Structure 1
């Protein structure tokens, strides 16, 4: 009996000491952090029945790109490739073939994630497909516009410039309008991301902004949002929706129509913490990620204490008082141990252990009704920050520790909603096919007669009659030089530097060859043997494959010891069974001689 009495006495004494200690922390004025604590009433949580009923639709995910990326936060599909923002500060893209390619980075190089205020942390981004420009909301460095072709960066919203009296401290998400303006969210005006754990226990200070590109200024649309997060624009451009993560709801703000400038609750009492928002491609609504979910058996700690400001104030001040000495030591004598302690005390990672490892997705229509819910109770994906359908799979992303992208089969309703996006993916591939079709037509062109340059004077002999000299055709068994025929007084086609001619007796001929039209020929190959001067003009057969293929394989580099000829002789092997040349091939020869016979293979 005395043992029980002594135990109760010690318990009461410890409780008394704790109450005194808590009272000191709560009641002493001017203790950091300097923010407000008031009672906040939350809407009741929707029951997990009907569309919200629990399921295992996102269980057993496939692990993709393991170790190639860390903390994929948000997704966007552009030109058939998947773009994502990483915890390491980069924006990367994933090709359909599975290659991960660096796109851009706003922050500076840093040693580890504990220096993310230096590395940068892109939480949200959007791509203007008309201008090929990327808009990034970096938690620490503000909102930037990046040209995807040149990587030229422009700061649009600075974290060092106050907006209506307060600095934006935690840039989160962005949604582009058609005219180049955009809507964006600042999760907190009191804390940066590295101290984000405090923002979920203090009074709301998040805001929704509208950025006017013409004036280069931002205007506050909504204030006092409890950790403003994902943002999206309705398909009819009537309103904007933004998620309030710590209030478990989505707020609506009208941007046009009779209710312009007014706001209302769009969806409340969500069974989880809403994060990023994706507009469904078919325009039926949007997809919102639930970073973590809860129920009566697995409550969220911050929810029941929202109406008890004293408890929230004590927890925040206590946590901050523990952090202060380590922050001071790290400032005086920087060390990785002190840096790690400071980082984990204030970061969201410090409260990760208080969350249940169940996450989900909600599919909502534009009236705020829940169409479907999808849940994951797999320890591989304890949290979800964004999701998108890519390559016939539902890709799931999450910040912090996840070093891969999880992929699960697409639920039927989501597959239908993303069907229109899938049809648009093959479109970029159409361009190359049409270009190839345009390249093919030159091949079936009829070839003209050719002539070796030293004997250009002998061209007048054949006359316009369509009969080539049968006596001289046998003198060239197989190799035939293919060149456009020029007039009787000029050598065949010559390019600007005329003096470079291979045969010695023909050195004076190219000088007079400046008459032909400036259409260039195929680059000069290695000169064949000098037997060409004996060749007479010979009509080529109408087989395009013989004539076209040879110029393509010509080596443009001439022999070092010999000057490059202005004419490009082409060797061809003419089969013995080849039909005799048709008469039409000689119709181009007139009495005065042609200036040049165009070569369709060039």
Structure 2
């Protein structure tokens, strides 16, 4: 009995002494932290039924960029690329292939998270869509404006300049209106982020500001907010919403209208602590990220302490008294160990172990009614600070020790809200594809070599039988296309000619000897003989084998620029050498274009065969005698006879254009011992 009595006596003494010490800590004046502690009324939480019922919509996450990032706090999409702010002080761009690209950094180089106040910690940021300007709310370094092209930085709001008598200590979220005005939140006027644990123990001191870019002044819109966080504008910018995290509610501040300058509760009693908010892309409502969601078994600790100011004061002073000695030692003897202790005692991340592991994403309309909720119950994501749909995934961010971006399938409701706006922006792209298809046949002369119906054809000679086409022609009066024609008069023209001689139209020029188009990528000159009568028959002429060049744009360039040389090199495979002279005239005909072509078409074709025969000899001076005999035979075969209809399919014989030098027209000479002798040319 004496032993038990001694233990009880000592325990009672310890409790008495501890109570005296704690009472001393609470009652003694001027002990840090130097702030106020009072009872904070909170509205009851909404019941977890209906739209707030628990589900597992955010379970089974996929970890993206794992090990490459740390603490993705907020997200923004610009030019179809995802941006996020990290606990290491950088804003980075996340590529779909798993690449992380550095964008900018507000803070200075540091050794790690224990020097977060040096590194900087961007919590909120906003990218102006048109100008490409990045606005950053760095928790330690203020509001900054960054040019994404040049990385030029400009500070808009400094943490060292008091606003209405108090310096902002924790810059949190940011958004812009259509005039470039900046709405931003300061979560506390008393503590920095590294001492954020004291914010939940002290009275509210956060504020909502508006920065006027014209006057460069800040105006306090709302004061005494308990950790103000995310901020978002209504679609018509008539009011702004701000999150009051520790009171688990959203407030509405009227910017215009009858209630301008007044505020009211937008939604209260949320089942957790809200963090970042964003207007849905279709402007149907607000997306609210719950950093921690509570239930009966996992309450929010700050909610239980809100009505106990004495206990909050005790915990705050006790923590601060433990922290002060290590701060002093670190200032006198800098050491990573001391820095780590100070960081772990005061940083807001220290409170995460006591926060519930349940987290959620809520959807509210513009009247403050919760219409949907999505929960993560498997604890793979401890907390959600922001969420956004990107690349057919719902991306989830967490601000502290999460070293990845969690991706889950998009809930059905979010698909409608996010993709409704994207489909509207993609409609022009969908319409462009069918618009281009009907225009293809109109632009066939420009983009393909099927016909010679181009807008700017140039005629080089006056024969009514030959044209320049990419495919071998099959008739004596019209051009040919990739699909050989089956008619006896015209193939590719919409209105075939009905006269004995082919007429010239703007689209399908069929009466020119060689039509050289400026835009078809591949063409080849083909020549057709005509009869010596004035009115050539409309019956189809025998099929000829031409040198088609389908895929070599250089051939066209050779035939248009230096047409004389390639024409002469192609004479052996041609059936009608009589028209060689006509091919040697495109350079002069190009200068005359339309007028010369029409005049020559109207001229009688009787004299043309004689001219072609007279000139063919000159052209073929360098040819051998067997070739000349072959050409004479071909001339005899070209006399109009009753021919069979052209078959539907015609074999294409491809012959590479000769690049040999132009043959010399001088007479051949034989050098003998007695002296050179000229060999008479039978064609002269």
Band of TM-score, shorter chain: 0.7 to 0.9
For 1:457, the equivalent position in structure 2 comes to none
Matches within 5 A, 1:21-420: 21-420=21-420
Cα displacement (A) at 1:112: 0.6
CA distance in 2 between counterparts of 1:575 and 1:343 reads 91
CA distance in 2 between counterparts of 1:156 and 1:3 reads 70
The SS at the match of 2:115 is helix
Retained in 2: the 8 A contact 1:207–1:221?
yes
For 1:18, the equivalent position in structure 2 comes to 18
Structure 2 vs 1, CA of residues 6 and 77 (structure 1 numbering), >3 Å: closer, same or farther? Answer: same
Structure 2 vs 1, CA of residues 151 and 430 (structure 1 numbering), >3 Å: closer, same or farther? Answer: farther
CA distance in 2 between counterparts of 1:279 and 1:306 reads 30
Cα displacement (A) at 1:379: 2.6
CA distance in 1 between counterparts of 2:103 and 2:71 reads 16
Cα displacement (A) at 1:22: 0.8
Structure 2 vs 1, CA of residues 586 and 82 (structure 1 numbering), >3 Å: closer, same or farther? Answer: farther
Retained in 2: the 8 A contact 1:464–1:591?
no
The SS at the match of 2:305 is coil
The SS at the match of 1:339 is helix
CA distance in 2 between counterparts of 1:109 and 1:137 reads 18
Show CA shifts across 1:453-510 (max 9, x none): xxxxxxxxxx97789xxxxxxxxxxxxxxxxxxxxxxxxxxxxxxxxxxxxxxxxxxx
Retained in 2: the 8 A contact 1:90–1:103?
yes
CA distance in 2 between counterparts of 1:105 and 1:464 reads 71
CA distance in 1 between counterparts of 2:207 and 2:555 reads 69
Identify the range of structure 1 (373-382 vs 313-322) with the bigger mean alpha-carbon deviation: 373-382
The answer to whether the aligner puts 1:548 opposite 2:547 as a matched pair is: no
Retained in 1: the 8 A contact 2:228–2:245?
yes
For 2:588, the equivalent position in structure 1 comes to 589
Identify the range of structure 1 (260-269 vs 303-312) with the bigger mean alpha-carbon deviation: 303-312
Structure 2 vs 1, CA of residues 440 and 328 (structure 1 numbering), >3 Å: closer, same or farther? Answer: farther
Structure 2 vs 1, CA of residues 441 and 247 (structure 1 numbering), >3 Å: closer, same or farther? Answer: farther
The SS at the match of 1:303 is helix
Structure 2 vs 1, CA of residues 3 and 361 (structure 1 numbering), >3 Å: closer, same or farther? Answer: farther
> How many residue pairs align between the two structures?
501
CA distance in 2 between counterparts of 1:116 and 1:325 reads 20
Structure 2 vs 1, CA of residues 17 and 391 (structure 1 numbering), >3 Å: closer, same or farther? Answer: same
Structure 2 vs 1, CA of residues 430 and 149 (structure 1 numbering), >3 Å: closer, same or farther? Answer: farther
Identify the range of structure 1 (579-588 vs 367-376) with the bigger mean alpha-carbon deviation: 579-588
RMSD: 3.9
The SS at the match of 2:588 is coil
Identify the range of structure 1 (93-102 vs 296-305) with the bigger mean alpha-carbon deviation: 93-102
4+ residue runs over 4 A deviation: 1-4, 424-435, 437-446, 463-467, 538-547, 549-552, 570-588, 590-594
Report the TM-score when normalising by structure 2: 0.66
Structure 2 vs 1, CA of residues 547 and 274 (structure 1 numbering), >3 Å: closer, same or farther? Answer: same
For 1:488, the equivalent position in structure 2 comes to none
Identify the range of structure 1 (574-583 vs 347-356) with the bigger mean alpha-carbon deviation: 574-583
Cα displacement (A) at 1:182: 1.9
CA distance in 2 between counterparts of 1:239 and 1:585 reads 79
Retained in 1: the 8 A contact 2:64–2:98?
no
Show CA shifts across 1:121-155 (max 9, x none): 11001111111111111111111111222222211
Structure 2 vs 1, CA of residues 578 and 329 (structure 1 numbering), >3 Å: closer, same or farther? Answer: farther
CA distance in 2 between counterparts of 1:539 and 1:108 reads 74
Show CA shifts across 1:72-124 (max 9, x none): 10011221111111111111122344432222111122111111111111100
Show CA shifts across 1:312-358 (max 9, x none): 11111111111111111111111111111111111012111111211
Cα displacement (A) at 1:300: 2.1
CA distance in 2 between counterparts of 1:442 and 1:109 reads 58
The SS at the match of 2:277 is strand
Structure with higher helix content: 2
Structure 2 vs 1, CA of residues 586 and 466 (structure 1 numbering), >3 Å: closer, same or farther? Answer: farther
Higher relative contact order (CA 8 A, sep 6+): 1
Structure 1 gaps, min length 5: 447-462, 468-537, 553-566, 595-602
